[in-house]
């Protein structure tokens, strides 16, 4: 069971990292194979908006964004954590989303995911929604979704809550992967989004989106 954890806070020991590391520990205790990434320690350039990845199946900038996409492709589970910045995800998370071509390639198809959105006062629900939409629109299942607030730089008041939530997330993710859990409503949502929104759009693009359709063939989405 391979699980990737991604921390999108620029602080490697903040609230987001604290809960993500707790989930990591719980998963390792269950014998899962876990890889943890701090996005701020990776090398990722901004998306140039050239759209060549849709044609070739990969970005022409060969940096850690491509490495991470490849790691995610091989994983069974993905945990995305982001602090709330101005009622949104952090810049690090947005950069990964832009570079990852997740939605169009359906990169999270059949993968089980957890979102973690932290904040201090208002807006973490919006952050959570952005992460959950990314998962759902990319074909992934949301196995758990955590939102938590704490005073900036002070996790002490929420430590007990962090322990409880991290165990819940680890249990839900592990069980979902182990039992190939089916989420009927999420499955219906995937079908609608793919058949009404994504597929007709990509087919119209023809050769310019050959990299995308090749990826669909590889992952058994199998159209065209």
Ligand X SMILES: Cc1cc2nc3c(=O)[nH]c(=O)nc-3n(C[C@H](O)[C@H](O)[C@H](O)COP(=O)(O)O)c2cc1C
Residue 124 found at the interface with ligand X (CB under 6 A): yes
Residue 156 found at the interface with ligand X (CB under 6 A): no
Residue 11 found at the interface with ligand X (CB under 6 A): yes
- Residue 89, classified by CB atoms within 10 Å of its CB into exposed (0-12), middle (13-18) or buried (19+), is buried
156 CB neighbour count, 10 Å cutoff = 8
| Strand, coil or helix: 2 | strand
Q: Which span sits near ligand X by CB under 6 A: 94-102, 118-126, 173-181, 184-192?
A: 118-126
> Residues 130, 89: contact at Cβ < 8 Å?
yes
Shortest distance, CB of residue 7 to ligand X, whole angstroms?
7
Question: For ligand X, which is the closer residue by CB, 151 or 206?
Answer: 151
| Strand, coil or helix: 144 | strand
The Cα–Cα gap between 176 and 96 comes to: 25
> Residues 127, 88: contact at Cβ < 8 Å?
yes
Q: Between 18 and 57, how does the x/- string for binding to ligand X read (CB under 6 A)?
A: ----------------------------------------
Question: For ligand X, which is the closer residue by CB, 41 or 178?
Answer: 41
Q: Which span sits near ligand X by CB under 6 A: 39-47, 119-127, 139-147, 186-194?
A: 119-127
Question: For ligand X, which is the closer residue by CB, 9 or 69?
Answer: 9
């Amino acid at each position: 069971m391979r699980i990737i954890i991604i921390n999108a806070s620029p602080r490697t020991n903040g609230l987001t990292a604290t809960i993500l590391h707790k989930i990591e520990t719980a998963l390792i205790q269950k014998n899962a194979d876990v890889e943890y990434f701090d996005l701020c320690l990776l090398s990722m350039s901004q998306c140039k908006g050239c759209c060549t990845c849709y044609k070739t199946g990969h970005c022409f900038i060969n940096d850690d964004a491509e490495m991470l996409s490849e790691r995610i492709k091989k994983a069974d589970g993905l945990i995305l954590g982001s602090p709330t910045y101005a009622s949104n995800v952090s810049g690090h998370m947005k950069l990964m989303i832009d570079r990852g071509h997740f939605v169009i390639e359906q990169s999270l198809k059949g993968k089980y995911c957890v979102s973690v959105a932290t904040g201090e006062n208002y807006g973490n629900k919006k952050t959570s929604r952005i992460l959950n939409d990314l998962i759902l629109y990319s074909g992934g299942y949301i196995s758990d979704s955590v939102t938590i607030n704490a005073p900036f730089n002070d996790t002490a008041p929420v430590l007990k809550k962090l322990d409880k939530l991290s165990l819940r997330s680890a249990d839900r993710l592990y069980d979902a992967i182990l039992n190939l859990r089916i989420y009927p409503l999420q499955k219906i949502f995937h079908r609608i989004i793919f058949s009404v929104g994504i597929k007709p759009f990509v087919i119209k693009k023809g050769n310019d989106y050959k990299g995308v359709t090749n990826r669909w063939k590889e992952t058994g989405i199998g159209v065209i």
